[in-house]
Structure 1
Amino acid sequence: MQDYSLYAGCWVALDEDGSVAGVGATPEEAGRAGRLARPKARLQLARITPQAPYLALPQWPLALLRPFSADRRVWLVGGAVRDLLLGRPPHDWDFAVERDAAGLARRVANALGGAYVLLDAERDTARAILEDPLSRTPVTLDFASLREGTLERDLFARDFTLNAMALTPEGELLDPTGGQRDLAARCVRVTTPASFTQDPARLLRAVRTAAELGFHIEPQTLALLRRHVPAIETVAAERIRPELLRILQAEPATTTLRQLEQLGLLARVLPEIAALRQVSQSAPHHYANVLDHSYAVISATEALQAHLRGREPLPTQTREVAAPSWAWTSLQAALLPHQTALLAYLVEPVTHEATRADLLRWGALFHDAGKASARTVDAQGLTHFYGHNAQSETLVQERFTALRFAARAQHFVGTLVNAHMRLTTLSDAPEVTRRAVYRFFRDTGDVGVAVVLLSLADILAVFGPRLEREYWQRVLRSAGALLAGAFTRSETVIAPPRLLNGHDLQALGIPPGPALGALLEQLREAQAAGEIQTREEAEAFVRAAREATAAAGA
């Protein structure tokens, strides 16, 4: 965290890394000084509080709110205060208001050209949605009237001490629960022993908050958490889902998943996953049970994405996968031609709360979930899981429905787990033909690239240190052919322009019906395979099919 004590009471222009580019008595002076010093930088104006802990209060939105709070007391509360103390850009702007919070939110929205949303008239909570002038993205400011009569009682009613601090518009920090102490100790502590009873969703939130911040849960809070674990089953799915999403986003996710498992929370929120601890598997699997293997696949997806971003994976990630270093080196080389396209693919949102990268981790978590019901043991004592991919898709559908995931997310992860063995099958062939590439993406659609990445992670985790070079090179060649099809040859081998449509086929004597649709698909596949390139060849293909059908019926 930057030390701003030298600039106490001044306005500063901050660079994106938080360093001071300019100083002034007013925001205008600081802005001019900053632009002179760093003309190409994206600068943010902030006022340094006149007293310790010398926080940088951003001009937007805090300074803009000051005129609206002249007739009532307003405090910035919650995660934004915590993030300012940690030197992180706040994402959640929550304000406690002495009275008429909804009226204040409406005034702010109207004056600053934003949108107003009444969240709860009875509890007097409302939202102003404004455009951040720097990023040009929408930012929400939530306003709520004090629920407990006084600010101090309101703060004690919050979940954890590090979220129970408040800032006045002048920059005075109010910390009745000891949040600063716990930030310094890097621990998550409940504000009162009744915290988990008041809201059992805090059971997951405690684990998630510790994971996101790299903190630990304070021992007494951990003991309270263990005592109240069964209460998580009373929490609505709509509140559990976002916590689980954020837990899987916080790297390394497996550290947090193991903590959920050890606390007994995993068995209550994802019982089909927790049950995989008892499902054993034999060679060639590096891990003796399916859950540890699934954890390793999650770590492999994280490490793979780290390599794509040009950084080294966390030691815990590569250690859990246990693959040889040469395997990672050759993987990097194989993915390098598609690095930019892969990164763009992964950050694409599937729903408002999850990107493809997020759902890839859910696919890693669920890809072998069906093994519990598909497990068989042959006469030689070897374990098999025939059809487990389809069983895994069924479990995804059931759990994602229970957690109220959007249909698009359910389809994405369901397709991902069902198809996760396709790359292994393709790698057994001497080459990946154009027809094979077409069929792969016909069946997987826009999930196909994620299927390739999950399959690579799965293979690394299956074999671990026993991975053979020759086999891995075959897998990478197959993966390269599929990725090239997706990113550089899509209009040729995945979605070639139609040479004929349904009306054309009817003009050639094919009657409407299922047979016409099937013939169109055959034509498209032959075109993708390179067997048909012109309209004339397509018409000849249709005539031959019509004659073959007539001969078969004679």
Structure 2
Amino acid sequence: MTHLPFDLRPLEASPAGPILAFLATCEPSVALVGGCVRDLMLDRPTHDLDLTVERGGLDLARALANRFDGAFYAMDVERDTGRALLPMAGQEPLVVDVAAWRGASLAEDLHLRDFTINAMVVVLRQSGHEFVDPLDGVRDLKNGLIRTAAPSAFRDDPLRVLRAIRMLAELAPLGFRLEEGSERQAAQFAPLLVQVSIERVRDELARILAAASPGDWVAKLDDLSILDIVLPEATALHGVSQSPPHIWDVFDHTTHVINHAHDLVAWISGDDTALAVSSLPWVADSIEQTLGRWRAELAALLAQGAGAQLRTHGQMLAWAALSHDWGKPATARLDHDDEKPDRWRFFGHPDVGADMAYEALRRLRFNEAEARRVSLIVRHHMRPLLLAVTGLPSRRATHRFYRDLGDAGVDVALLSLADMQGTYGSTLTSDDWQPVLDTVASLLDSYFDARDQVIAPPALINGHELMAALDLPGGKHIGQLLEAIAEAQAGGDVKTREQALVLAGQLSAQQRAAALQG
């Protein structure tokens, strides 16, 4: 029997302890395997348990669900793989995945796994647990290497190409790197990703975008010719030049924006050190001082789900950062001027990019709400920057901003801060930055602190009353009149029902006159 190279007692003393005790009584023997063993050895928190058993994976998952009042799911009947979601006191449910051996023995099963550091197991027994490591995963773990378990690993399951980068993204802060031979194989077998279900590809990409410095890992995907297989819209940004103040081409600009957006969301969500990762020190200080008053409200909004799968607004903002300039290659135009340097223009790129983002996210099987939200953010991502040109936005402009965007307007405001930093890089000055930050602060102040005055003022009159008072027929023009009244309320120009009726009468007369002239 091989003694454990790590201490299992903290897990045994946790709310998952009774589950481990039960598993140790099972026949045939059950083993902890994969990421949970790896994370325990790295002293990282483990949020789920992966189990392997000689046979009866579905039966064991069902038995766990029954014994611990959880839920059972048949994940893959052909491979005898099931999942149990088990309630944990005061915590999220524990996810327990149970799979039958894929080979004739435990050793053969481990040789069929993805990476050596995921091919270590702890066989659970009442008489004493046993550690099994036929591929010397401990050595690779100590050396910080992500190495395939077999030469055929990527061919056997091409999704592992993406998983390798995702694991690298998650473990790089601990000093891990992709073993050279495995990296070459990842590039070699990347074209096989077209054989993988698009949902699995989406989920790995989402985890990569959720890791620290996600823009760097998007660049890594590109370096290994993986990105072009899964997101050709992103690789098309390469070599698309931009005029000053931009200091990078569109691709490199995008990777920086992704990083800044990630760090901003991480700071909002409670990581006090996040902004220091990618932002200039004085920029980080200005964000903390200006946005700090709404940090809790922003965190609550970003934690909301964008669809039935409950991927959060914060997670989807990463996709908006990734796709915000996808429209630039198709709209690039070099303007010549005899008296000024030539300039690259990208007229209409937000609209083109919004359509591309929507199509790409639907292709990746994001739901309609998620795809529409990202598309909306991309379509309007320039608005805070344009508003900042003329000073703080008026109450009317702010009302129109949120009328068009809803709560996605907050996402757009945050993205503009990442966009600015990804434009200027280290050349950013206070003169460039402060107007945009002030504009974002004004937009957030209206959303969180003056909603009833600016964004959704209480109705002074409804459609039926408007039709009766002005003898108007029904139709979409009634909604237009009500919106005009709301905008005038936001601007402080209409405060009473009588003033609302006067404005509606004037606008209605203008509509009739325009119709007669037409």
Q: Give the TM-score normalised by structure 1.
A: 0.85
Secondary structure, in 3 states, of the residue corresponding to 2:72? strand
The residue number in structure 2 matching 1:296 is 256
Larger deviation, residues 308-317 vs 510-519 = 308-317
Secondary structure, in 3 states, of the residue corresponding to 1:360? helix
Given that residues 63 and 169 in structure 1 are in contact (C-alpha distance below 8 angstroms), is that contact kept between their aligned partners in structure 2? no
Number of residue pairs aligned between Structure 1 and Structure 2: 499
CA RMSD of aligned residues (A): 2.3
Separation in 1, partners of 2:191, 2:513: 68
Separation in 2, partners of 1:466, 1:111: 61
TM-superposed CA distance for 1:471, in Å, is 3.8
Distance 1:51 1:230, change over 3 A: closer
Distance 1:71 1:460, change over 3 A: closer
The residue number in structure 2 matching 1:541 is 503
Point out 4+ residue stretches in structure 1 off by more than 6 angstroms. Answer: 551-554
Separation in 2, partners of 1:394, 1:353: 23
Separation in 2, partners of 1:416, 1:79: 35
The residue number in structure 1 matching 2:180 is 219
Q: Does 1:418 align with 2:379?
A: yes
TM-superposed CA distance for 1:314, in Å, is 7.3
Q: Does 1:164 align with 2:119?
A: yes
Secondary structure, in 3 states, of the residue corresponding to 2:236? helix
TM-superposed CA distance for 1:141, in Å, is 1.6
The residue number in structure 2 matching 1:209 is 167
Q: C-alpha deviations, 1:158-212, integer Å up to 9, x for none?
A: 1111111111224321111111111111111111101011001101101110110
The residue number in structure 1 matching 2:94 is 139
Q: C-alpha deviations, 1:438-494, integer Å up to 9, x for none?
A: 000111111101101111211222223443433422222211110101111112211
Separation in 1, partners of 2:495, 2:89: 52
The residue number in structure 2 matching 1:359 is 316
TM-superposed CA distance for 1:550, in Å, is 5.7
Given that residues 55 and 85 in structure 1 are in contact (C-alpha distance below 8 angstroms), is that contact kept between their aligned partners in structure 2? no
The residue number in structure 2 matching 1:176 is 134
Separation in 1, partners of 2:61, 2:395: 58
TM-superposed CA distance for 1:425, in Å, is 1.4
The residue number in structure 1 matching 2:7 is 54
The residue number in structure 1 matching 2:490 is 528
Given that residues 75 and 96 in structure 1 are in contact (C-alpha distance below 8 angstroms), is that contact kept between their aligned partners in structure 2? yes
Secondary structure, in 3 states, of the residue corresponding to 1:242? helix
The residue number in structure 1 matching 2:232 is 271
Distance 1:550 1:161, change over 3 A: closer
Paired AA for residue 510 in structure 1? L
Q: C-alpha deviations, 1:373-393, integer Å up to 9, x for none?
A: 000011232111111111111
Structure 2 residues not aligned, in runs of 5+: none
Structure 1 segment 44-443 matched on structure 2, within 5 A? 51-56=4-9, 57-59=11-13, 60-67=15-22, 69-135=25-91, 137-170=92-125, 171-214=129-172, 215-287=176-248, 289-305=249-265, 307-308=267-268, 309=270, 311-313=272-274, 317-318=278-279, 325-351=281-307, 352=309, 354-380=311-337, 381-443=342-404
Secondary structure, in 3 states, of the residue corresponding to 1:129? strand
- Percent sequence identity is 38
Distance 1:63 1:166, change over 3 A: farther
Structure 1 residues not aligned, in runs of 5+: 1-48
Paired AA for residue 132 in structure 2? L
Larger deviation, residues 89-98 vs 264-273 = 89-98
Given that residues 187 and 210 in structure 1 are in contact (C-alpha distance below 8 angstroms), is that contact kept between their aligned partners in structure 2? no
Separation in 2, partners of 1:53, 1:468: 50
Paired AA for residue 354 in structure 2? E
Paired AA for residue 141 in structure 1? V
Paired AA for residue 292 in structure 1? D
TM-superposed CA distance for 1:315, in Å, is 6.7
Distance 1:511 1:294, change over 3 A: same
The residue number in structure 2 matching 1:28 is none
The residue number in structure 2 matching 1:9 is none
